[in-house]
């Protein structure tokens, strides 16, 4: 196996009637469905016992290796934060979709399972996004006390002021 290339394949796809623009506009994510491929349906058995799951997906519309390694969280511009207020930080400090491996990771609420379709709340992925993995949200993902940098806290407050709950 070469270390330079790792090959993965979708286990399912995101389905939402919303446009990419509508998904982008919602900072807290949207209600959407994850349609798992038939061949992987058995892997869902028991998932309905979890209130939250972690969805790992491939952001197929993002820049990958060409993405700049330092970025500003520009999507905050629309919440009244000015460009000068946005810090220029490393991409591994941000949730930017434009990153060396465009992997998305979102904790969502699992509303319902119908066979191989999971209805979830809080997903920030476009219609048609390939899903790579689904993991349960368990106590090991839960950190009671954690620290975020002052610049990040400041941005969270700005967004909250704009009436939204989370970055």
Is 119 a binding residue for a second copy by CB under 8 A? The answer is no
**CA dist list (Å): 164 to 26, 112, 154, 158:** 9, 25, 14, 9
* Candidate list 18, 151, 158, 164; residue touching a second copy; CB under 8 A: 151
The secondary structure of 46-93 as a DSSP string is: TGGG-SEEEEEEE-TTS--TTS-SEE--GGGGGGT--GGGS--EEGGG
Pairing label, strands 12-15, 130-136: antiparallel
Residue 18 as a binder of a second copy (CB under 8 A): the answer is no
Does 132 engage in binding with a second copy (CB under 8 A)?
yes
In angstroms, how far is the first alpha carbon of the chain from the final one? Answer: 38
| CB closer to a second copy, 85 vs 130 | 130
Stretch that binds a second copy, among 7-15, 18-26, 78-86 (CB under 8 A): 7-15
The window from 14-22, 72-80, 105-113 that contacts a second copy (CB under 8 A) reads 105-113
Looking only at residues 68 through 87 of this chain, which bind a second copy when binding is defined by CB under 8 A? 69-70, 87
Residue 2 to residue 77: CA distance in whole angstroms:
41
Q: Which is nearer to a second copy, 142 or 163 (CB)?
A: 142
Q: What is the spatial distance between Cα 103 and Cα 99, in angstroms, rounded to a whole number?
A: 8
Binding site for a second copy (CB under 8 A): 1, 3-11, 40, 42-47, 49-54, 56, 58, 60, 65, 69-70, 87, 89-95, 99-101, 103, 105-107, 130, 132-143, 145-152, 156, 166-167
């Amino acid at each position: 196996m070469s270390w330079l290339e790792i090959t993965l394949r979708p286990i399912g796809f995101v389905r939402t009637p919303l446009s990419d623009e509508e998904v982008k506009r919602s900072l807290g994510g949207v209600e959407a469905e994850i349609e798992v491929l038939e061949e992987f349906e058995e892997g869902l058995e028991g998932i309905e016992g979890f209130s939250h799951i972690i969805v790992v997906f491939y952001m197929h519309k993002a820049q990958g290796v060409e993405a700049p390694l330092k970025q500003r969280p520009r999507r905050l511009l629309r919440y009244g934060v000015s460009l000068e207020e946005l810090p220029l930080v490393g991409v591994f400090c941000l949730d930017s979709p434009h990153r060396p491996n465009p992997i998305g990771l979102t904790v969502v609420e699992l509303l319902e399972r119908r066979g191989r379709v999971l209805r979830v709340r809080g997903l920030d992925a476009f219609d048609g996004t390939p899903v790579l993995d689904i993991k349960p949200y368990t106590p090991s993902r839960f950190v009671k006390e954690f620290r975020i940098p002052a610049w990040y806290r400041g941005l969270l407050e700005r967004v909250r002021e704009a009436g939204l709950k989370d970055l």
